Amino acid sequence: MLHGRFDEGGRSESAIKTKADVSVSGIYQISKVLTASTRLEITLTNVVNILSSMLEMRHGAIVVLGDENEPEIIATAGITPSSQSGGGRVIPQAVIDEIVATGAPVVIQDASKSELLQAALRTSSSGGTIPDRFIAVPVKAERKILGILSVVRLRGDATSLPYDEDVSFLTMVANLVGQTIWLHRTFSMDGQQLPEEQRRGEKSPDGERNDIAGRLPAKIDWIVGESPAVKQVLATVSAVAPTNTTVLLRGESGTGKEFFAQAIHELSPRRKKSFVRLNCAALPEGVLESELFGHEKGAFTGAISQRAGRFELANGGTLLLDEIGEISPAFQAKLLRVLQEGELERVGGTRTLRVDVRLICATNKDLETAVANGEFRADLYYRINVVPIVLPPLRERPGDIARLAKVFLKRFNKENGRELAFEPSALDVVSHCRFPGNVRELENCVRRTATLAQSRTIVPFDFACKNGQCLSSLLWKGADGLNGGNAIDALARGNAMPAGPPLSARPAGAAQREVASKACDPDDPACPAMGARLTERERLIDAMEKSGWVQAKAARILGLTPRQVGYAIRRHGIEVKKF
């Protein structure tokens, strides 16, 4: 047994104040590095470098173990493995053996008095002086020890935590690293199984196939997207789904976090069990506790019978806690206990119930700022932020807008017995919208347009933005165009809403659009006449005459595409002059 191992007695030796902001920032930076699509060696090196810059440690290393506990991958900072030692001297073999045997951290408070560490580190230490504290923690995943994370630092560093908190922080980092190592060993970064796993088709003792792909669905039908941003997210989803790892889905409102959570569940071995959802922001604290943990009969007024909570309903399956950032600090403590222990008591009950739940959390809130401001518990943040997945907003996947619009229109037709279709120019219009509400707003836009369409073919003029009726455009530019009025009042008076600013991706010639009335959408010559303004037909003819009857030039004047101009010419029956 190594002297000075981590135990309860050592906790009283340090009185240094906890640096919660350092821990939060470190976990956040490391989680971003671990989800990047890079080689495992590079990823681990980046993690050690972040620890080095954050903790001001003298030496640090991550050693990934292979067969017979021999070092397979070594990532270091501030220390160079000796070529004569086979690279294993960055962490003494005795330390590795101790951690593999016990699964517990090893702490040596005064490394200068340890012959073991002096022999291991003197050859690579630049100054020849051994720093005070050595900490090594196991890197685990799927109940297996995959490697060792170690640091050597002075106990008097400005960023030094009390050593028990040092161990807790490094254990959290090691758990994140362990999941990444496991995923790299099981899957390639594009979400496909490695050849070694593909060849494993034999039966396990319980009769199930060992290869994960044989147990899981091949595609995710309910998520539409061919953009690189979506493909990257789906690759991460496919990689993390077969594990029990907690996932934190992050992104703006309306990006489809619930659909991606369902994808994780359906691609996991738990898919035959329940997928339970709960919006934490929709319920007050007292009701939320009852919803999650359940209650006994008579626990409070109205509790006329015993009721199982969402954790019990999701036992063996997956639980999605949406808007996790909105729960109160008091309830965060109650939730943390369940996540740590896997045990709960119903409200008003005394019997302890054990649950086996795969947790997925979702939020559009900046949790790092919330932790720094004391609004969200740091320990709960560490517990749920194991594998963060950031969902892209719709504006970062413009190529998917037309695909999604077609899917939503098909769904509308099926629900309402209609046979509507988009004209190509209509898809051009919708593809250039910002949609600050993301996919949810796009669906609402399609449903509104389909409901009010005058024919079986949806044309550009059917969209609210082409009639000055799009309230959502106020989110693009604010309410400046209302002159202090109310948007609803303006619509009630029959006025049109001001259009939002043009997208950066729109065609050149946007400056010419300013000639149109602010109460009229300048994107289309089919703008309704407003007082002394030209009619839509007159505006189109005027632009054609100025361009010498060249549609491409007229399109640039009007800020449209040539196809939109051609459609408007045919609709108004304008005879194109030829010279």
The three-state DSSP-derived secondary structure of 131-191 is CCEEEEEEEEECCEEEEEEEEEECCCCCCCCCHHHHHHHHHHHHHHHHHHHHHHHHECCCC
Residue 567 is predicted with a pLDDT of 77
Query: Among positive and negative, which fits the CA dihedral 253, 256, 260, 266?
Result: positive
Residue 472 is predicted with a pLDDT of 74
Q: How far is 58 from 512, CA to CA, in rounded Å?
A: 62
Q: DSSP string spanning 86-98?
A: TTGGGS-HHHHHH
Buried b (16+ CB within 10 A) or exposed e, 360-374: bbbbbeebbebbeee
Q: Which of 489, 506, 523 is the last residue in one of the domains?
A: 506
Instruction: Give the structural domain span for 147.
Output: 8-186
H or E element that contains 480: none
Highest mean pLDDT among 86-90, 109-113, 263-267: 263-267
| Residue 346 within any structural domain of the chain | yes
Q: How far is 66 from 73, CA to CA, in rounded Å?
A: 8
CATH of the domain at 449: 1.10.8.60
Beta bridge partners of 125: none
Closest Cα partner for 318 from 263, 372, 254?
A: 263
- Kindly report, residue by residue over 460-489, the tens digit of the pLDDT: 989 988 877 777 766 655 544 444 445 545
Same domain, 468 and 550: no
CATH of the domain at 521: 1.10.10.60
Please indicate whether residue 560 or residue 96 has the higher confidence score (pLDDT). 96
| Residue 91 within any structural domain of the chain | yes
Same domain, 378 and 243: yes
- pLDDT beyond 70 at 7: no
- Yes or no: say if 56 and 157 are a contact pair by the CB < 8 Å rule: yes
Closest Cα partner for 325 from 380, 284, 258, 393?
A: 380
Closest Cα partner for 22 from 165, 175, 177, 180?
A: 165
Same domain, 291 and 417: no
Same domain, 479 and 517: no
- pLDDT beyond 90 at 320: yes
Give the count of domains, the chain.
Answer: 4
pLDDT category of residue 169 using cuts at 50, 70 and 90: confident
Residue 475 is predicted with a pLDDT of 61
| Residue 269 within any structural domain of the chain | yes
Which amino acid is present at 253?
S
| Residue 300 within any structural domain of the chain | yes
| Residue 213 within any structural domain of the chain | no
Same domain, 334 and 405: no
Same domain, 514 and 490: no
Q: How far is 98 from 362, CA to CA, in rounded Å?
A: 39
| Residue 170 within any structural domain of the chain | yes
- Kindly report, residue by residue over 417-460, the tens digit of the pLDDT: 999 999 999 999 998 888 888 999 999 999 999 999 989 999 99
Same domain, 14 and 148: yes
pLDDT category of residue 1 using cuts at 50, 70 and 90: very low
Reading phi first (left if > 0) and then psi (alpha if -120 to 50, else beta), residue 402 is in alpha
- pLDDT beyond 50 at 15: no
| Residue 214 within any structural domain of the chain | no
Instruction: Count each helix (H run) and each strand (E run) in the chain, helices first.
Output: 21, 16
Q: How far is 6 from 165, CA to CA, in rounded Å?
A: 11
Q: How far is 311 from 291, CA to CA, in rounded Å?
A: 9
CATH of the domain at 323: 3.40.50.300
CB atoms within 10 A of CB 299: 16
CATH of the domain at 145: 3.30.450.40
Reading phi first (left if > 0) and then psi (alpha if -120 to 50, else beta), residue 290 is in alpha
Same domain, 153 and 292: no
- Kindly report, residue by residue over 513-545, the tens digit of the pLDDT: 333 333 344 444 444 433 334 577 788 888 888
Same domain, 475 and 374: no
Q: Which of 351, 372, 391 is the last residue in one of the domains?
A: 391
Same domain, 371 and 409: no
| Residue 290 within any structural domain of the chain | yes
Highest mean pLDDT among 32-36, 103-107, 164-168, 565-569: 103-107
Same domain, 512 and 488: no
Q: Which of 136, 168, 186 is the last residue in one of the domains?
A: 186
Same domain, 499 and 520: no
- Yes or no: say if 270 and 384 are a contact pair by the CB < 8 Å rule: no
